Amino acid sequence: MLISVAVPVPNLDLLTYAVPDGVAVPCVGARVVVPLGTRVVTGIVVEVNVEPGTAAAKPIREVLDAAAFVPADVVSLARWTAEYYAAGVGDTIPALLPPMARGGRADAHKTARMAAITAMGHEALSGDEKLTAKQREALELLAGTPTGLATAVMATRGIAADAISRLAKRGYISLRQERIDRDPFDRGQVGVGVGSGWGQVGVGLGSDPNLTPVAAVASLSEAGRQLTMEQGDALVRLERLAAARAFKVALLHGVTGSGKTEVYIRLSAAVRASGRRVLMLVPEIALTPAAAALFRQAFGERVAVQHSGLSDGERHDQWQRIRRGDIDIVVGTRSAVFAPLEQVGLIVVDEEHDGSYKQEESPRYNGRDVAIVRAQRAGALVVLGSATPSMESYHNAMTGKYERVVLERRVLDRPLASVSVVDMREEYAAEGPDVILSRALRDGMQARLERKEQSLVLLNRRGFATAVFCRQCAGTIDCPNCSVSLVVHGEGNARRARCHYCNYTSRVPPACPLCAGPYLEQAGFGTERVEAEVKKACPEARVARLDRDSIRRKGSLASLLSRFRDGAIDVLVGTQMIAKGHDFPRVTLVGVVSADVGLGLADFRASERTFQLLTQVAGRAGRGEVLGEAIVQTLYPDHYSIQLACRQDFPAFYDREMKFRTAMRYPPMISLVNAVVRSRTFAGAMDDAADIVDKVRLADRGLRILGPAPAPLGKLRGEYRAQLLIKGMNRKKIREAIQSALAARPELQRRVVVDVDPLSVL
């Protein structure tokens, strides 16, 4: 018997192995140990009863699972993902397994030593006068807990191991090892408040484990706040779609603060009551704790969380709970789309437009699109939620491919934040070229401090200065591995220059490394500089910063968000991480520094991303009882993406952007594949890319190819990069053409990045 096995090796497709005589044939989804070259690896069975090939198949070494370890439908989904995104099946395997199961340790569970009182122990409590005070205390403690206590817990009560050992020898207590799940909920990782975004408790949702599913829905309805008319209508439409038990995609297009989360919760309750399960995807780890807490509050312990911020042990145990069927709702980031959840009836993709759903390594899948395919195969409903939908999703809704459900008003009819645009050219003329915070923004923050309200300040760029240049020779301090300037972090003697792509770091030199001139200047600014400017403008304010550099320590993200939510921080400065989904009722002012920072990028999605980011961050203001305000600083106040974001007018933006996309033949009007060729030399990258272009044209002359050309980021991690874009109406034909070209040059496989449906072409 021959089987096809996927092993976790990049770019590797299915391998054929033989099942030795006398060994039970493993089923699809079971793990097997197989030889691979000089190594032995653990793979997953993808097919059984495979037709023999020309070469003799090696025998498997061991079958680890009698039944499917990964559900067959999830294995099939992973195989589709590899094919669609032009990757090897081996690239998708790490997404299917929890970390501690990839080496064959399926039962790498944590155990605890448990003590329980025996019948003799109960008798001793009333009749043994030789018991010491600690021994009696231990027996009394255990008598009140029939299932027993962990000895570690007893130790915290002052009962030493010696006392426990003596009681066990006398037969008064029994000792056993018991498996326990490492629970991320126990360490407060998901203990922050939640509500109409993912940030503040607004309702008391029932979580009584004794309620029947139908009663649980009723409990939710009674305990929660009353839905608005729009929310009620949206919920009725979505419940009807879910009840049909047929595949359908619905776009829930709701303005910021319109209560989309409330709809998700109630829809999940209805699906759960029907005996099916729910998968809830959020774009960022930062949003997972609040989302998981909301579902945990609503549905109790039948909720699991999956994301890379958990420890290996926590991810393993949560995954195993899902696999055992102990879970009804899974909350997680993009990789959770492969969770071993069966009987899926609803998949929610919140902030569906967000670029975080796109994986940057092979397979370069979009979690939103894979979720749609999973729902299609399960006959489930997909709800894509956003205030600023992607162009693709909105186009599908407008053409009737998706249902469009609209929430046009905020909860309690709270008005959207008033938005004003500051032309920074006027600020430079009035205060000089080094001004970072406009007069309006400085005055606005000061007013909020006096009223004990909070402010958010956004700049989607990290660091203190974005470049160091020499006034004598005009040279810059660049990364030796990448074609970018090093970014300065820190101030004074703590200054370091770092590359945000390869993480190369060096000291900021006292003189120019090119001409030895002493006239080095810093140009540009990032969140660190903005934080310093806020402290200077508002010295009495409690200021904090939220970006990738400030939350490297585990738990720092949840701690920072919790402090801001509790009012311990007056002004929070951050990157786009502060713009997504959070609900901070005390925030009444949002300031956007350099709103146009993304408009100059050589990417056809630049305007779309700018519109989405500005709309989302403006939506963080005024979500409580006080009217919100947003101040947008820009050098391009008349750009349509900025003007329409200030009005939160998505339909108008869509119409304007579609004219550009149609004229230039970009998605969603056509399909697009981005290919980047890497080489040690620039000439080598360009020559190899030109050869691929010739072979793609030979494979399909109906495709339109742009390039080859130097990639916008021409050198990365020591390799030169050339780029080509392939456009066409049939995505499968594009994929087959590029795969045919690479098959003719197999030595290029590891040096060519193929990105199907790219979200960025940089």
The DSSP-derived string for 629-692 is EEEEEES-TT-HHHHHHHTT-HHHHHHHHHHHHHHHT-TTSSEEEEEEEEESSHHHHHHHHHHH
> Does residue 311 contact residue 40 with C-beta atoms inside 8 Å?
no
Q: Between residues 460 and 188, which one has the greater pLDDT?
A: 460
> Does residue 486 contact residue 497 with C-beta atoms inside 8 Å?
yes
- How is residue 93 written in tokens? 């395997």
pLDDT of 148 strictly over 70: yes
pLDDT band with cut points at 50, 70 and 90 for residue 289: confident
pLDDT of 553 strictly over 90: no
What are the counts of helices (DSSP H) followed by strands (DSSP E) for the chain?
A: 22, 31
- The H or E element containing residue 418 is strand 418-423
Residues spanned by CATH 3.40.50.300 within the chain? 213-412, 418-463+525-659
Q: Between residues 682 and 621, which one has the greater pLDDT?
A: 682
pLDDT of 78 strictly over 70: yes
* Cα–Cα distance measured from residue 256 to residue 269, given in angstroms and rounded to the nearest whole number: 23
> Does residue 79 contact residue 112 with C-beta atoms inside 8 Å?
no
pLDDT band with cut points at 50, 70 and 90 for residue 268: very high
pLDDT of 269 strictly over 90: yes
Q: Which CATH superfamily is domain 671-756 in?
A: Ribosomal protein S10 (3.30.70.600)
Residues spanned by CATH 3.30.70.600 within the chain? 671-756
pLDDT tens, residue by residue, 631-678 = 999 999 999 999 999 988 999 999 999 999 999 999 999 999 999 999
Give percent of the chain with pLDDT exceeding 70. Answer: 93
pLDDT of residue 225: 66
- Which amino acid is located at 693 in the chain? V
pLDDT band with cut points at 50, 70 and 90 for residue 334: very high
The SS3 call for residue 120 is helix
pLDDT of 285 strictly over 90: no
Report domain 2-101's class: alpha beta
> Does residue 658 contact residue 743 with C-beta atoms inside 8 Å?
no
The SS3 call for residue 259 is coil
pLDDT tens, residue by residue, 79-90 = 999 999 999 898
Q: What is the mean pLDDT of residues 411-431?
A: 90
> Does residue 384 contact residue 283 with C-beta atoms inside 8 Å?
no
Q: What is the mean pLDDT of residues 328-350?
A: 96
pLDDT of 164 strictly over 50: yes
Q: Which CATH superfamily is domain 213-412 in?
A: P-loop containing nucleotide triphosphate hydrolases (3.40.50.300)
pLDDT of residue 188: 47
pLDDT of residue 312: 79
| Distance (Å) of CA 86 to CA 673, 694, 732 | 10, 19, 10
Average pLDDT, the chain: 88
**Lowest-pLDDT choice from 85-99, 147-161, 332-346, 547-561:** 547-561
- How is residue 14 written in tokens? 């299915």
pLDDT tens, residue by residue, 190-249 = 433 334 354 433 333 333 433 333 334 434 444 456 899 999 999 999 999 999 999 999
Q: Any residues with CB less than 8 A from the CB of 746 and at least 6 apart, and which?
A: none
* Cα–Cα distance measured from residue 50 to residue 202, given in angstroms and rounded to the nearest whole number: 55
CA 73 to mean position of chain CA atoms: 23
418-463+525-659: CATH number:
3.40.50.300
Q: What is the mean pLDDT of residues 71-100?
A: 90
pTM of the model: 0.86
pLDDT of residue 203: 34
